[in-house]
Structure 1
Amino acid sequence: MPEPAARSPKAEQTRQSIAESAMRLFRTKGYDKTTMRAIASEAGVSLGNAYYYFGSKEHLIQAFYDQMQEQHAAAAAAVLERETSFAARLEGVLLAWLDVAEPSHEFAGQFFKNAADPASPLSPFSPESAPARDASIELFRTLVEGSDVKLATALRRDLPDLLWLLQMGVVLFWVYDASDGQQRSRMLVTRVVPIVDRLTRLSRLPVVRGVVDDVLGLMAALRS
């Protein structure tokens, strides 16, 4: 597969057409029932051409992850530009993800069973998901750095990773949320953000700092 910088405009258009066709079929037929042959037919390309750009359906989902992250960053830009309050920024970013993800809710559960497999490239923790994961963590870093919250140096460094894990919890809840328009997921965000805000601000107090240090130490150990 050619590197993005080396793709011609026509090649990039073909790649985008294949990805968009796959998303349409995933939404209408479901992830498991959609084949690469069907995707190629929908995009109007040969099966070999489809495999040239995407080695498997899993690679198409990775492209979906990347696209979602780009859309999420764009949707969150307004609130990050407007707000300085940590709570307002966090709520805005998490709700922006729900807005962007809403059209994909119907088929999200179908590939989540694959993503839940630790060995699957669809796992948000997999090496294959690193670009989307890193971009998401960087968005949370922007959220923290531009906010009014005062943090110890170590927590400031690791808080974006912790907020990404929080988002993963919201995503899991959202996948199984059968409420109309996933309103329960939105309620979860609006109720959990003030708790996170208070805990974050309390982290500077001596009585809480020891627990924070323990959590950060655990994260460091898990990374090693």
Structure 2
Amino acid sequence: MTEQSAPTTAAGGAGTGATARGEQTRRLILDTAMRLFRERGYARTTMRAVAGEAGVSVGNAYYYFASKEHLIQEFYADVQREHRAAAAPVLARERGFAARLSGVLHSGVDVLSPYHSFAGTFFRTAAEPTSPLSPFSAESSAARAASVSLFREVLTGSTARCDDEVREALPELLWLGYLGVVLYWVHDRSPGQARTRQLVDGVVPLVDRLVELSRLRVLRPVTRQALALIHTLRH
């Protein structure tokens, strides 16, 4: 195995080269881990195995990623960046709330699709309430915030008009709904996860209608009661 140079912040050509090599090593370790997770499953993949497959020392692997959990957090960050990039065209093109939400949900499924083969075994770990891999964990806060921010952009860039309290809470509610879509996708064994696509296409018009109805004065007491309950359960 070959030992790769660690990244450095030194200025100049040599420092830049070392930083580039360090980033290449870091990327190699992460890509190798993702491949092994797909081939062997999350539980059966060790840091030693990742290092061996990547051709670096175990110590070097731990230098870049302190644990398997840190690898997954970096994976989360990558997925969020890819999701935002994949959703950008529809967000730039569409102003209707339903079209924007549909585009973001479908692009999320697109980005996750290459990882469907190991999603089930990984989900068993992430679903554990105390796991740092949980989407609700403190360790996942950065990825969670990035995803909520994307759904906030869905709303703020649209022509949707809704109750002010709903507008404030909606980005996080949309994120929670997206987690539901992802959970369905994990268990979806239809070809190409076609049923997940059908779920998105069926749910979006309902959400669009509910957002529109939230402006009705007669529904405001019920809306506020529902929002208060959600807030209590989340916090």
TM-score, with length taken from structure 2:
0.90
Taking a change above 3 Å as real, the CA distance of residues 129 and 208 of structure 1, as seen in their structure-2 partners, is: same
Report what 2:3 is aligned to.
Answer: none
1:149-179, CA deviations, whole angstroms, 9 ceiling, x for partnerless residues? Answer: 1022221111000000000000110000010
Report what 1:167 is aligned to.
Answer: 178
CA-CA distance at 1:217 after TM superposition? 1.8
Question: Equivalent of 1:58, from 63, 66, 69?
Answer: 69
Structure showing greater radius of gyration is 2
Range with greater deviation from structure 2 (178-187 or 150-159): 150-159
Question: Equivalent of 1:26, from 37, 40, 44?
Answer: 37
Report what 1:38 is aligned to.
Answer: 49
> Is the contact between residue 162 and residue 213 of structure 2 (CA under 8 Å) also seen in structure 1?
no
Report what 2:15 is aligned to.
Answer: none
CA-CA distance at 1:43 after TM superposition? 1.4
Report what 2:189 is aligned to.
Answer: 178
Tell me, which stretches of 5 or more residues in structure 2 are unaligned?
1-5, 11-17
Report what 2:208 is aligned to.
Answer: 197
Report what 1:154 is aligned to.
Answer: 165
CA-CA distance at 1:4 after TM superposition? 10
**RMSD of aligned C-alpha atoms?**
1.9
TM-score, with length taken from structure 1:
0.94
Q: Does residue 103 of structure 2 align to residue 92 of structure 1?
A: yes
Q: Structure 1: how far apart are the matches of 2:44 and 2:9?
A: 33
Question: Equivalent of 1:78, from 89, 114, 119?
Answer: 89
Report what 2:80 is aligned to.
Answer: 69
Report what 2:58 is aligned to.
Answer: 47
Q: Structure 2: how far apart are the matches of 1:170 and 1:221?
A: 23
CA-CA distance at 1:219 after TM superposition? 3.5
Q: Percent identity?
A: 57
How many equivalent pairs are there? 223
